[in-house]
Amino acid sequence: MVHDSSDNPDDRARKSPAAASDAPPERLAGPDVDPAAAGGDDEDDALLPDILEESGAVGEGPLATGHEAIERAVRLAPTSPGVYRMLNANADVLYVGKAKNVKKRLSSYARQSAPLPARILRMIAATVTVEIVSTTTETEALLLEANLIKQLRPRFNVQLRDDKSFPYILITGDHWAPQILKHRGAQTRPGRYFGPFASAGAVNRTITALQRAFLIRSCTDSFFESRTRPCLLHQIRRCAGPCTREIDFGGYSTLVREASDFLSGKSHAVKQELAGEMEKASNELEFERAALYRDRLAALSAIQSQQGINPRTVEEADVFAIHQEGGFSCVEVFFFRTGQNWGNRAYFPRAEKSFTPEEVLGSFLAQFYDDKPPPRNILLSHDIEESELLANALSIKAGHKVEVTAPKRGEKKELVTHALTNAREALGRKLADTATQSRLLEAMAATLSLPHVPKRIEVYDNSHIQGTNAVGAMIVAGPDGFVKNQYRKFNIKSEGITPGDDFAMMREVLARRFKRLINPPEDAAAKDDDFPQWPDLVIIDGGRGQLNAVREIFANLGLTQVSLMSVAKGPDRDAGRETLFMPEREAIKLEPRDPVLYFIQRLRDEAHRFVIGSHRKLRKKDIREAGLQEIPGIGPSRKRALLHHFGTLKEIERASIADLGKVPGVSAESARRIFEYFHPQPG
């Protein structure tokens, strides 16, 4: 079946909606240079001779069926640019590709006489339907292709695994005294955005240093408006104190301008200006003012030293370098903005071992800029085939010219070489971690007599305070370590649960989790075929009683293939003396220094960390909604005094017992009670 969706936008995606054309592309090579991206596994390779034998002389079998489906599509395919999707019998998208001439591209798959790589034959053998979306230009096809790949995650495409947005620094523009803060997501608030930064840690360090250098406020507008005296940040010289007019509008505007100039690449001019002011103050014997300029200069130097290498001739660029080893690929990305290094991040895209660095890098780049603004220069370690087309597509997306090059000499080449070294080291660490994790999983399977080495382990835990704000959580681990994009939290909804009934809470969590797994919703997002959705081993916190309760839940759901284990804490909650319980087996006690026991402790502790964090977020939300009325002994007068002193409820949450005790009318006992209300010990 073929759908030409040029006149019907509703047909643009079958499994999930496809965005229009504001996303960059996934690279596709023609059949003579290996068109379909990676997928498949060793089992598929083993079956390949049978597929070829079945579909050879008599023209029957899975491969012949796939050829027939593609030939039907060729008859109706347009000769214009477009995007095509190959689907299997379950309507799962196997592969998304783009072509300048869709009919010609599909014809190359249908030619049975042409020699094709094994992974292409596997893809053809699984194909039963081809769907087509016509586009106006090849650039639009490239953008739509990348968008579909990120949404549908087809098995035979190279996949970028990236579930984190990049943080930015925002200097707000909707207040007379601008605020500096970290920002993620849509850039809708008025102000100037600087980034992207590679990590939240890099942003936090930079903001702290900028506060020391330029004394710009970081408090919220509501806190700012409620101040009657300068806060602690002013006292430690990290804020100029505009809230209480410690600095006038003109002086604060100068500080904001200097900070913006520094982040815009004018760091040398800003430092020269501060050095001149320091020397002037010193000559006028105003040593305290000179010391202030000295400290600001030191803060600026600290920012640049933390950023590592800073290019001399490259104002704005992203640098990509790829290294392959052991069947894995690592792409290291460095961000340079305003002539400064704003950090780097390593990615490990999924790609079949036979893919060349150029093919993986081309696929990676197209998907990388799906939700990120591209810079003016993109520097690569390898030449990619469609660099000109990619540059045109990104230029349209960015609204300015984007150049994609693989430099051969000069400082740009040095930046790429530096990124390549980091890619090599990052992949080495990844391979070492993967080997260690594999050995731990093999040892766990042997120690616990599991039927096979687990590929997916799920660990469950609950948290509540006397039954309130109850929340359950699931963390997931596999051969590559913790898989955080698979973590889930469950707000306990059942009204009939007795407060503090851990068995009932666990029953609700597991029932919700596995009912959804047994009967997934129709609009469920496409999953990564490399990582299983069904667990091989489920671990819960508790003893034999909790284990039996979970066995009963699984029996009611008809689950028999999932291994179960509970971990009971040692005496006095002593780590290293845990007892492991498994169905129809004697209790297991491992040696305190057994690596498998350490591994199980790590799994349990990660689940505990995640559920406690989820619980605290839920509790803080309730606290903010309830205000201070729920704290015993805190009446209207003390509430007014607290808000007058701290400004906002958030600042009261952050305050220490000593700070709370300084509020007029708040005794030491009341301060302790308030602090414990905001910082409870979960049960």
CATH number, domain of 118, equals 3.40.1440.10
Q: 463 and 539: one domain?
A: yes
Q: 301 and 323: one domain?
A: no
Q: 223 and 99: one domain?
A: no
Q: At 164, phi and psi to the nearest 5?
A: -125, 135
CATH number, domain of 666, equals 1.10.150.20
Question: Do the domain assignments include residue 503?
Answer: yes
Task: State the pLDDT at residue 31.
Answer: 33
- One DSSP character per residue, 635-677 reads -HHHHHHHHHHHSSHHHHHH--HHHHHTSTT--HHHHHHHHHH
d(CA 276, CA 273): 5
Q: What is the DSSP letter of 198?
A: S
- Paired with 403 in beta bridges are 377
Question: Do the domain assignments include residue 548?
Answer: yes
Q: Long-range contact list for 146-149, CB < 8 A, 24+ apart?
A: 146/23, 146/24, 146/25, 146/26, 146/366, 146/367, 146/370, 147/18, 147/19, 147/21, 147/22, 147/23, 147/370, 148/13, 148/18, 148/83, 148/85, 148/93, 148/96, 149/26, 149/96, 149/366, 149/367
Task: State the pLDDT at residue 44.
Answer: 42
Range of the domain at 282: 168-306
Give the residue from 479, 530, 174, 476 showing the smallest Cα distance to 349.
Answer: 530
Instruction: Name the burial class of residue 52, with classes exposed (0-12), middle (13-18) and buried (19+) by CB atoms within 10 angstroms of its CB.
Output: middle
Q: To which H or E segment does residue 324 belong?
A: strand 317-325
Q: 665 and 607: one domain?
A: no
CATH number, domain of 384, equals 3.30.420.340
Q: 601 and 633: one domain?
A: no
Q: 603 and 462: one domain?
A: yes
Q: Which two tokens stand for residue 5?
A: 């969706």
Task: State the pLDDT at residue 354.
Answer: 74
d(CA 655, CA 669): 15
- For the chain, state the CA radius of gyration: 30
Q: To which H or E segment does residue 579 belong?
A: strand 579-581
Q: 148 and 191: one domain?
A: no
Q: 591 and 473: one domain?
A: yes
- Paired with 541 in beta bridges are 567
Asked if 683 and 464 count as a contact pair (C-beta separation under 8 A), the reply is yes
Task: State the pLDDT at residue 406.
Answer: 93
d(CA 365, CA 456): 29
Contacts of 621 (CB under 8 A, 6+ apart): none
If one counts the domains in the chain, the total is 5
Asked if 241 and 234 count as a contact pair (C-beta separation under 8 A), the reply is yes
Task: State the pLDDT at residue 322.
Answer: 94
d(CA 14, CA 277): 64
Asked if 364 and 160 count as a contact pair (C-beta separation under 8 A), the reply is yes
Question: Do the domain assignments include residue 434?
Answer: no
Question: Do the domain assignments include residue 188?
Answer: yes
Task: State the pLDDT at residue 538.
Answer: 92
Q: How far is CA 56 from the centre of its chain?
A: 46
Question: Do the domain assignments include residue 312?
Answer: no
d(CA 417, CA 311): 13
SS3 state at 278: helix
d(CA 575, CA 587): 17
Asked if 92 and 153 count as a contact pair (C-beta separation under 8 A), the reply is no
Q: 613 and 632: one domain?
A: no
Picking from 152, 184, 215, the residue at the C-terminal end of a domain is 152
Q: 271 and 336: one domain?
A: no
Contacts of 56 (CB under 8 A, 6+ apart): none
Q: 45 and 130: one domain?
A: yes
Whether the CA torsion 383, 384, 389, 395 is positive or negative: it is: negative
Picking from 117, 152, 187, the residue at the C-terminal end of a domain is 152
Question: Do the domain assignments include residue 447?
Answer: no
Picking from 306, 340, 370, the residue at the C-terminal end of a domain is 306
Q: Which two tokens stand for residue 269?
A: 């001019």
Question: Do the domain assignments include residue 131?
Answer: yes
Q: Is the pTM of this model over 0.85?
A: no
- Paired with 405 in beta bridges are 379
Rounded to 10°, the helix 118-126/62-76 angle is 80
Mean pLDDT by 10 residues, the chain (683 residues): 40 37 35 37 44 39 80 88 90 89 88 73 88 88 85 83 77 90 86 83 81 86 85 85 89 87 71 75 74 71 56 82 88 84 85 83 86 87 89 87 91 91 89 85 91 92 63 87 86 64 78 82 55 89 85 84 86 68 88 85 87 67 54 73 71 79 83 78 52
Question: Do the domain assignments include residue 157?
Answer: no
Q: 287 and 355: one domain?
A: no
Q: How far is CA 487 from the centre of its chain?
A: 12
